[in-house]
Amino acid sequence: MADSWLPTLKTTTPEDGFNLAVKMSRIGVKVTQPSAEMRDKLRPEYAENADSLIASSQVIAINFQTVAAANDYWK
């Protein structure tokens, strides 16, 4: 079995959890659009679009909620 890029949702700190949420979000984009060339082509469009940036933040926030729950909110 190949090494997993996501062996666990457990993190030591909330900051590490947030960084994991960002990585999960980025991987999600790569899975959705596997062409790096197309992602690079589209980047200028969404980089200057407030709605796109807000949507990206929402995806990260949802992933952070998942990671936080998996870590019992670092209690």
Cα–Cα distance measured from residue 41 to residue 10, given in angstroms and rounded to the nearest whole number: 34
Q: Is the pLDDT of residue 10 over 70?
A: yes
Give pLDDT tens digits for 16-48. Answer: 999 999 999 999 999 999 999 999 999 999 999
- Using CA atoms, how far residue 62 sits from 1, 16, 40, 44, in Å, is 29, 15, 24, 24
pLDDT of residue 2: 66
Classify residue 56 as exposed, middle or buried by CB count within 10 Å of its CB (0-12, 13-18, 19+): middle
Task: Evaluate whether 21 touches 71 at the Cβ level (below 8 Å).
Answer: no
Q: Which two tokens stand for residue 17?
A: 């959890």
> Which whole number is the average pLDDT over 42-62?
96
